[in-house]
Amino acid sequence: MKQDILERFFKYIKIDTKSDESSESFPSTKKQYDLLNLLKAELTAMGLKAEIDEHGYVMATLPANTDKKIPVLGFIAHVDTSPDMSGENVNPQIWKNYDGGSIVINKELNLVLSPELFPEMLEYKGDTIITTDGTTLLGADDKAGITEIMTAVKYLVEHPEIKHGEIKIGFTPDEEIGRGVDFFDVKKFGAKFAYTMDGGGVGELEYENFNAAKLTVSIQGRNVHPGYAKDKMLNSMLIAMEYNALLPVNMRPEYTEHYDGFFHLISMNGTVENSTITYIVRDHDRAKFETKKKTAVECADFLNKRYGEGVVKAELKDQYFNMREKVEPVYHIVEIAEKAMVELGIEPKVVPIRGGTDGARLSFMGLPCPNIFAGGLNFHGKFEYVPLESMEKATKVILKVIELYTQRKW
């Protein structure tokens, strides 16, 4: 299984699937079809009924091989990689029997993956670590999840003596830019419950995520020749800086953890005449989330009183909400995943997602969908890595969850 995982993972990460937030198409990049079509073909070759629809969603069915009434269970992962860094020409490196020290991933660029900066590395001493070469991201988010689902399906196909109910497989595009399930047909997918394989380190199990909104602040300045600007000029860039200074400093991502929410400045563009600053606003608590959105508007109102009505405009767009309220009524799906880990000797770490997944939106679309670890760490950048053994454990968790669903009295 481990060798199969390694070969499959390398095959998938070699395919560039970076999504593009500026694109208006769906999927946002045509190159995502390169992997989507491959997955559809591989599932078909395994004997599953698989299809890809006009939006790029791959859906497949592994029929039940028992007469026992078991809820239809789904497993989902996304094919796209983050726009934050290139995913083209990924050159993975293998570091066997990791000794707990620093890993020089690129000597020329002086890039070192060090446990001093990333202490969680020490949890994987003795494992085979897969890194980038420092010029791209790795793509474990979420090609590790894809690998694990595909490996588990192959194992079930090759071992028909393992009894299971009907299993649904789903692969989605554009998760990284928040559009992953915009056109996902939950009814067509046909699962009662599902899991996304899109978490981090071994043992992570998540059924809570941020409430999320995008904040766009537009500033209309007034450009006047600087030699004659007194009492006339409004420099939109300086007003943008004032706006940012009004937001609570302790609510920036670098000062928050666990259930803390934040305002995260993600882009700034401007001239004297016009500027735009963009944030993502996050909080697990719905009331605190709404308060943050109110604060964003109040900061704009404050500056408009100083500089004139309409100079600063704050626009908020909700992106997704905390899936907890949809998962708690069927909490057994979390308990089954926990039990699966325990039986495999893995300590479950039930933690809130400091982000979002397709599962959050799917839960509000009628498909309760917690998130199970896929094994990768340091997502979206050149220091991304994944232990091979973590992907193996995640694959076994999938198989164990299926086994427990089969054993349970429904």
The answer to whether residue 80 is catalytic is: yes
Q: Please state at what angle helix 140-158 crosses helix 388-407, rounded to 10 degrees.
A: 50
Looking at 42, 127, 166, 175, which residue is catalytic?
A: 175
Looking at 80, 166, 176, 198, which residue is catalytic?
A: 80
Phi, psi of 181 (to 5 degrees): -120, 25
- Largest pairwise CA distance in the chain: 85
The answer to whether residue 158 is catalytic is: no
CA neighbor of 201 nearest in space, from 268, 119, 265? 119
103 vs 95: CA distance, rounded Å: 8
Beta bridge partners of 113: 103
Cβ atoms 219, 243 nearer than 8 A: yes
208 vs 265: CA distance, rounded Å: 23
**Catalytic machinery residues:** 80, 175
